Amino acid sequence: MSNLKIYGVPLSRAYRALWMANELGLDYENVPINFADGSAKTPEYLAVNPNGRIPAIDDNGFKLWESMAINLYLAKKHGSVLLPKTMEGEAEAIQWSFWVMTEVEKPALTVLLHRFFLLENKRDSKLADEAEHQLQKPLSVLDQRLATTGYLIGETFTVADLNVASVLSWARIGGVALSGFPHVDQWLAGCLKRPAAVRARNST
């Protein structure tokens, strides 16, 4: 039995942690806690994540929640090339992870909900369009960064790329136009095609 449990169905923010575990080649158990069926609110699960949200992990008794923190922890724990080895590089990985959560996640989720996830009669196209508009500035920051090296930190894929791309995958599903951001468009397609990203999406 694996010592690492990842709580949360792939069709949720748990996808981020599942993608990371697959990049690292970890042996893990995916506990299919779902945000929609009450399983995230049971006393057993609240003992893992008192917020009643997914994802969370239990790594041999060490419990951690918040998707970005989980990924930074797993990359560091496993001494992976996915976490830059310098203090500055690690700080940049944290910077991009905070950035995507504060500047990108909310509008990306609004677009996803109102163009894809909600039933058609619950969608508000004005909200989706406003959210797409809010994404223009962060997308332009990202595009400029990616124009130099093709990745967020240095010249290889790191936890920063994984964390940012996993959030931006919502914008792609929500049909946010990326033609004005050619570096983002190419980089995002490349990240989401990685075998670990595909395996995580298709896992049970």
- Is residue 71 part of the contact set for ligand GSH (CB under 6 A)? no
- Is residue 55 part of the contact set for ligand GSH (CB under 6 A)? yes
CA triplet 62, 68, 72: central angle to 5 degrees? 65
- Is residue 35 part of the contact set for ligand GSH (CB under 6 A)? yes
- Is residue 54 part of the contact set for ligand GSH (CB under 6 A)? yes
Q: How far is the C-alpha of 136 from the C-alpha of 65, rounded, in Å? A: 29
Tell me whether residue 101 or residue 127 sits nearer to ligand GSH (CB atom). Answer: 101
Q: How far is the C-alpha of 29 from the C-alpha of 57, rounded, in Å? A: 10
Tell me the closest approach of the beta carbon of residue 67 to ligand GSH, in angstroms: 4
Tell me whether residue 30 or residue 67 sits nearer to ligand GSH (CB atom). Answer: 67
DSSP tag of 102: I
The site for ligand GSH, by CB under 6 A, has a size of 10
Is the Cα torsion angle 25, 26, 28, 30 positive or negative in sign? Answer: negative
Q: Are 152 and 84 in contact (CB under 8 A)?
A: no
Interface with ligand GSH (CB under 6 A), residue from 67, 163, 166, 203 = 67
What is the biggest distance separating any 2 CA atoms in the chain, rounded to whole angstroms? 50
Residue numbers of the site for ligand GSH (CB under 6 A)?
Answer: 12-13, 35, 40, 52-55, 66-67
